[in-house]
Structure 1
Amino acid sequence: MLSLFRQALLCLLLLWLPFSWAAEPGWLTSADNDHASVRLRADTGDGGETRLLLDVRLEKGWKTYWRSPGEGGVAPAIAWKNAMPAVEWFWPTPQRFDVGGITTQGYHDRVSIPMTMPGKPPGRIAGVLTLSTCKDVCLLTDYPFELTPAAGDAAFAHDYAQAMGSVPLKNGLTDSLSAGYRTGELVVKATRAAGWKKPDLFLVVPDDASFARPKIQTEGETLWATVPTSDGWDGTGPDLRGRSLTLVVSDDGIAQQSTVKVTEAAAVPAPQDPFVLWQVVLFALLGGFILNLMPCVLPVLGMKLGSILLVGQQDRKIIRRQFLASVAGIIASFMALALLMTVLRLTNQALGWGIQFQNPWFIGFMALVMVAFSASLFGLFEFRLSSNLTTRLATHGGTGMAGHFWQGALATLLATPCSAPFLGTAVAVALAAPLPVLWGLFLALGVGMSLPWLLIALRPGLALRLPRPGPWMNWLRKILAVMMLGSALWLASLLPAHFGSATGKASEEQIAWQPLSEEAVQNALAQHKRVFVDVTADWCITCKINKLNVLSRDDVQAALQAPDVVALRGDWTLPSKEITDFLKRRGQVAVPYNQIYGPGLPEGKALPTLLSRDAVLNTLTEAKGETK
């Protein structure tokens, strides 16, 4: 019985993959890394050269790297001993791995990397292979080796030919290929008569640059890949124009490696899929409409309704003209925002929804405007636009329309620190799209926000159904004045941060927030922890709603204080390139932005703009993954 048990145990050990690797001849393992096994072989053929083959086998979930790892990792390398001819490596087509917004290029499971060297080597080939392998953590392992080249080994010849079959071709996939550069972006264009099915792009990254994940779009036989570039720190990276760049284009199992000279980047056309474009337009309309329900706009809406109530016996024509003037103010303001975003893009500045609230001059101006509205409603004075205009800013009747126009404009400007549902998607697409699409989507946002105002303009009878004027209207004026004054005080409270002053805010949160960075996300994941990301700003009203309604709840606070949870907060109150880049990597241009990572969500999961208790707690549970 004991003998039978021993035999069964031996069979199980032989079937266990890592044990079987080590048992095969020529495979090398390391006591410091039991997740990988390597083997080197060599053969001297009749072609006057020596062929080598590096085999790497990895446990499930582990990966190693291509010749150009990307934003992290180390490529395999060999330090040869003794005098050796130059060795040429042939790299199989890699795969892309994205974790926490960082993209790398490499291999998983198994890869065989063929090499050649001219002539015959010394009797024995020796050296040290350095291999980087990563899963939740990364290991850099050295494998000393020594081998004698075989001659005419049929098994080696088969394996070598199979490995060369996975190496990209020099031509045959693309009919034309070019690359261009503009500040912060590399644009690759390729054509293929047969069209594209599942295209991908892998780049050999220069030493002084860093490339993010390519954004690929196809139309018929043409492919465009837009690659965000940087210097890996805070800059946009070097000017690549005039340089030679090596890249691999792959599609549905076929790959081609080419070297191209980088020229000036051509414009990338907007996506031609009408369903996608109309879907984004719908998001823009819905997002603009929902802005009317956000607390940022309520004071202006209240003032607008108050302007009707304070003038008795208005006819439908006047009401229609007043609301149409406000609609014109809303549309004009969104066009002004589109112009601002266009200028920022052309000058390579940061783009984002509500970024004007990062400017103290804008905040101060808006605060003064709100004070003026409040004072006017309190009856202290009547504020006029200029000596040439006689229409009062807050109209109290008559036929003047300028005041109503500026009410619409003010509502738009106060709406920009709010991120309504659907808004982030529409704005993100707009800011990345060609300029005509950007202007069109901002127009759709303006139309969406104008819908309630247009409704009253089309049916003035709705406004005429409001209660008749009476003594209660004086109380309404005071309520509206207080609302305006509160908005002015809120705006003024944003200014100290711009001058390095302490705001004196005492947070009631018990969460140990840490500064947000890509490195912090990766470090937490490497320790098998969950990560809660909160990107916020003092001027973001939606952020404050999320904090009050969700993040300040006792059960949510307790969940975020769990030992395996790392809470990272990014403050976008002031301009921050690191926060801007963090959002850009995730296709975001607005705050609030919340995301959760963990063993069960290594790629991260974004939460809705308006948080809910269940969304936060359920996603934190999902991030735990399977219990080991």
Structure 2
Amino acid sequence: MLSYESKAAEPISPWVHNEFADIRLISSLSGTQGRSEIMLGLEFRLAPNWKVYWRSPGEVGYPPKITWEGSDNLAGSKILYPIPKRFNSFGLETFGYKDHVVYPIMARLTDKMRPLKLKAHVTALICGKICMPIENTLFLNLPNVLPSSTSFTYLLNRWLARVPKAVPNTCLKVLSAQGFTDNKNPKLTITVQSIEAIKKLDIFPEGPDGVSYGKPKILLSHNAKTATVQFPVKIRDNAQLVGSNLRLTMAEGNSLVERNVIITSGSTPNKLWSMLVPALLGGLLLNFMPCVLPVISLKLFALLQCSGAERRDIRLGFLASAGGIIISFILFGALLAWLKIIGLTVGWGIHFQQPLFLASMISILLLFAINLLGWFEFTLPRALAKLVENVEKQKIYCRISLVENFFTGIFAALLATPCSAPFLGTAIGFALAQGRIVEILLIFLLMGVGLALPYLLVAAIPSIGYIFPRPGIWLIVFKRILALGLLVTIVWLLTVLAGHIGQIWTLVISALLIIAVLVFALLRYFFYSRHSIWIGIILLIIVPAVVFVLPAPRNIGGERFDNTTRSENLINWRPFDLSEIDRLVKDGLLVFVNVTADWCLTCKVNKSLIIEADPALSMLTRRKVIAMEADWSKSNPKIAKYLASFGRYGIPFNAVYSSIAPGGIPLPELLSASAIKKAIDQASGLKSD
């Protein structure tokens, strides 16, 4: 160990000479009087091709360390690290400095009216073809006199200017930080955006412990203002990449920026086979989501109708309903594939954004309700009835033909599409983002099979139909109850329709529906059921016809991206605005986003029972939490594009943003208060319980 003591008046320590490096302490000021902080510097003068390390050295090495035992009037210190250079030796990626470097040190004084006496014990690792640890003690004394600049002030300021700043910077913005760990070659992908064309970008990631990063691959957008930087990752000691805090040091020209972000989970392009089970499970779980509550009455009624029937009749009826569901989903997939090919917006449940579709559903639902009330019997034309085997026999037992069962399945599929479910979003995201036409059709086929599984179960075990007694007076009463449930669904669809055509026209249509119901009730006593089909046809077309001739609703094209629900809320929801999110997180605020729609019952349930209920309500009404809501009730390509950026094509959808999670932390489709808390804790840099 070598040590030298400087003269009291000198603002430097003498050089300490090592075999491949000389080091010393320097000061930007000559005295301490009136100063609570003084900028010092640890200067290295290295032999050719030798280097010393940065704060995070990479895959090998360690940075210089200083202990100050024996110093006087020193309250504390902080070493600052200029932007490093990248080195690659023997396939190992390291970060540091060659030839010459000054590490700025901010020293805090205990008493600004006393001299500062420093004793710095320095340990460092210097490397060339070999690595050599060094250990030196440096002495520097600053008298208690009025401070003035020294000959080292300019040198220190020059190196201080190369220290990245953790302050808002409009030149470089981190869009996302995603970890991909679901294969043998994990990687980290950073997406950054610049206001000018990117020319020489470098990024140095740090953290978490046990994770190191290799040489990055940089991909630029067509205008060179967005860069995707991919790092190979080495993980040791079972370190957790996704969900961890990441410190990014970025250099692009004169822009030197530090950012703290959270690594979110990236989705490695999935293989088709890996999506088959999620598609099946997603369709099955769709049976239990709030949006399919109207369908449950149809399923239950179909089962009740067949109570006491022969096994063959029960099996055929439920197979017909399952066939209607499965074929409907195949057609959904074909339609979305076609829309994707021609470049239009695609998404799950987008048909509920069309007023004509809503009006048609209202008419069909009303026909079902009137049928359950016993005021309307849908009879097939004789020629078509002959095509259905044992139709007459079915009418005796199941009271419904195979064709009617088939269309009931189609109707159930249509009603089941406004919302998402666990696994369903993953499967749809794969199909619409990565899938080819055949893959899209296969995914939607399995989703349909999943939704049809309850029907297929009854078809496989017809004895389930014997749980209920044979049809009787009780069934007539129960049919009235089910009809009431469908009428409630009609009221809900009318409220959705009102958002498209306005309240006045919705009231007009409601009046027409009431008149039609009264006409059905009256004509039931004067006409036989064979005339009812014509009344049914008139009812089926009257509401869609009125909607069709109405002027096109305003803002259907989605010119506004900030539309939000207008109901009274427990949370002060702001209109959704992506650019506003950037500004808010730079101000240190946390942003919670809720994408919803009037036709998404699951969204309504989530908002009422989870988001606007404690404990989530307390978390979202804090002073530094901003809640934003986007309404996708109407077609809005910008919202569709926003969802697609997360690989989502349906709602509900929620995400949390902060300064360390600028790309957003998406929440699971099956929302819970614990999921909201976990995302908020991550966005706040805290460890969730």
* TM-score range normalised by the length of the shorter chain: 0.5 to 0.7
Per-residue deviation, 1:570: 1.0
Residues 174-216 of structure 1: CA deviation (Å, up to 9, x unaligned): xxxxxxxxxxxxxxxxxxxxxxx99855225339xx8796999
SS at match of 2:345: coil
Instruction: Quote the offset at 1:461 in angstroms.
Output: 1.0
2:685 pairs with 1:625: yes
Structure 2 residue 440 is the aligned partner of structure 1 residue 438: yes
Matched, 1:202 2:265: no
1:387-413 Cα distance to aligned partner (Å, 9 max, x none): 864589x97735720111011111111
1:588 maps to 2:644: no
CA distance in 2, matches of 1:519, 1:490: 34
The 1:71/1:556 distance shift into structure 2, 3 A limit, reads closer
**2:420 equivalent in structure 1:** 419
Name the structure 2 match of 1:527.
587
Partner deviation per Cα, 1:126-173 (whole Å, 9 max, x = no partner): xxxxxxxxxxxxxxxxxxxxxxxxxxxxxxxxxxxxxxxxxxxxxxxx
Deviation at 1:301, TM superposition (A): 3.2
Of residues 610, 621, 625, the one that matches 2:670 is: 610
1:429 Cα deviation from its structure 2 partner = 0.6
Alpha-carbon offset, residue 313 of structure 1: 2.7
* Offset at residue 625 of structure 1 (A): 1.9
CA distance 1:604–1:102, shift in 2 (3 Å): farther
- TM-aligned CA distance change 1:199 to 1:413, over 3 Å: farther
- Change over 3 Å in CA distance of 1:100–1:565 after alignment to 2: farther
**1:308–1:577: structure 2 CA closer, same or farther, 3 Å change rule?**
closer
Q: Which amino acid aligns with 1:14?
A: G
Match of 1:295 among 286, 290, 306: 290
Contact 2:308 2:469 in 1 (8 A): no
Q: Match for residue 567 of structure 1?
A: 627
Aligned-pair CA distance for 1:345:
1.1
SS of equivalent residue, structure 1 residue 313: coil
The CA distance in 2 between the partners of 1:454 and 1:601, in whole Å, is 45
Q: What does residue 480 of structure 1 align with?
A: 482
SS of equivalent residue, structure 2 residue 291: coil
Among 164, 175, 178, the alignment partner of 1:58 is 164
Distance 2:575 2:642 in 1: 12
From 546, 561, 565, the counterpart of 2:606: 546
Structure 1 position 278, deviation (Å): 2.2
Shift of 1:457: 0.7
2:378 aligned residue (375, 380, 383): 383
1:506 deviation in Å?
Answer: 6.8
Aligned length: 437
- When residues 511 and 63 of structure 1 are mapped into structure 2, their CA distance, relative to the original with a 3 A threshold, is closer
Q: Separation in 1 of the partners of 2:195 and 2:614? A: 33
Pairing 1:176-325 to 2, within 5 Å after superposition: 200=217, 202-203=219-220, 205-206=222-223, 276-311=271-306, 313-325=308-320
**Residue 460 of structure 2 aligns with which residue?**
458
Q: What is the CA-CA distance between 1:489 and the residue it aligns to?
A: 1.5
Residues 498-517 of structure 1 aligned to structure 2 (within 5 Å): 498-501=500-503, 507-517=567-577
- Residue deviations 1:430-468, cap 9 Å, x none? 012111111111111111112121111111112222234
Local SS of the residue matching 2:398 = coil
Question: Is the alpha carbon distance of 1:319 and 1:204 closer, same or farther for their aligned partners in structure 2, counting shifts above 3 Å?
Answer: closer
Q: Is contact 2:306–2:465 with CA below 8 Å preserved after alignment?
A: no
Q: How many angstroms does 1:487 deviate by? A: 1.3
2 CA distance for matches of 1:440 and 1:215?
A: 32
* Cα distance in structure 2, aligned partners of 1:110 and 1:489: 57
CA deviation profile, 1:278-330 (whole Å, cap 9, x unmatched): 22111100000011112333333323332342455301000000010011101
Q: For the structure 1 residues 444 and 399, does the alpha-carbon distance in structure 2 shift closer, same or farther, using more than 3 Å as the test?
A: same
Matched, 1:98 2:93: no
Secondary structure at the counterpart of residue 314 of structure 1: coil
Structure 1 residues 611 and 398: alpha-carbon distance in aligned structure 2, compared to 1, 3 A threshold: closer
The answer for the alignment partner of 1:13 in structure 2 is 40
| Separation of aligned partners in 2, 1:554 and 1:590 | 26
CA RMSD of aligned residues (A): 4.3
Aligned partners of 1:97 and 1:103 also within 8 Å: no
Displacement of 1:99 after TM fit?
7.1
Counterparts of 2:661 and 2:370, CA distance in 1: 52
Amino acid at match of 1:377: L
| Contact 1:58-1:109 at 8 Å conserved across structures | no
Amino acid at match of 1:359: Q
2:352 to 357, 371, 387: 357
The secondary structure found in structure 2 opposite 1:597 is: strand
Provide the C-alpha distance between the structure 1 equivalents of 2:628 and 2:432, rounded to a whole number of angstroms. Answer: 26
Cα distance in 2 between the residues matched to 1:101 and 1:412:
46
SS at match of 1:574: coil
Query: How far 1:585 sits from its partner (Å)?
Result: 1.2
Equivalent residues in 2 for 1:363-378, closer than 5 Å: 363-378=358-373
Structure 1: runs of 5 or more not aligned: 30-35, 39-55, 73-94, 112-196, 217-270
Q: TM-score, normalised by structure 1?
A: 0.61
Aligned partners of 2:680 and 2:154: how far apart in 1? Answer: 46
**Is the CA contact 2:328–2:410 (under 8 Å) kept in the aligned structure 1?**
yes
Amino acid at match of 2:164: L
**In structure 2, do the counterparts of structure 1 residues 312 and 465 end up closer, same or farther at CA, with 3 Å as the change threshold?**
closer
Aligned to 1:328: 323
Q: 1:479 to 1:108 in 2, by over 3 A?
A: same
Matches of 2:485 and 2:594, distance apart in 1: 29
Shift of 1:577: 1.7
1:61 and 1:467 map into 2 onto residues whose CA distance is: 73
Q: Which amino acid aligns with 1:403?
A: E
Question: How far did residue 543 of structure 1 move?
Answer: 0.2
SS in 1 for 2:655: strand
Q: Name 2:249's counterpart in structure 1.
A: none
* Cα pair distance change 1:24/1:388, threshold 3 Å: farther
Structure 2 gap ranges (5+): 1-7, 13-24, 28-37, 43-78, 83-101, 105-151, 177-187, 206-213, 232-266, 508-564
DSSP 3-state at the match of 2:290? coil
| 8 A contact 1:535–1:571 mirrored in 2 | yes
What SS does the aligned partner of 1:495 have? helix
Alignment partners' CA distance in 1, 2:215 and 2:409:
47
Note closer, same or farther for the CA distance 1:463–1:313 as it changes in structure 2 (3 Å cut).
closer
* SS of residue in 2 equivalent to 1:13: strand
**Distance in 2 of aligned mates of 1:567 and 1:100:** 25
Measured in 2, the distance between the counterparts of 1:293 and 1:277 equals 26
Structure exhibiting the larger radius of gyration computed from Cα positions: 2
8 Å contact 2:174–2:193 — kept in the other structure? no
Aligned to 1:597: 657
Q: How far apart are the structure 2 equivalents of 1:603 and 1:343?
A: 31
CA distance in 2, matches of 1:370, 1:404: 15
The CA distance in 2 between the partners of 1:367 and 1:324, in whole Å, is 26
- Equivalents in 1 of 2:478, 2:664: separation in Å? 48
3-state SS of 1:447 partner: helix
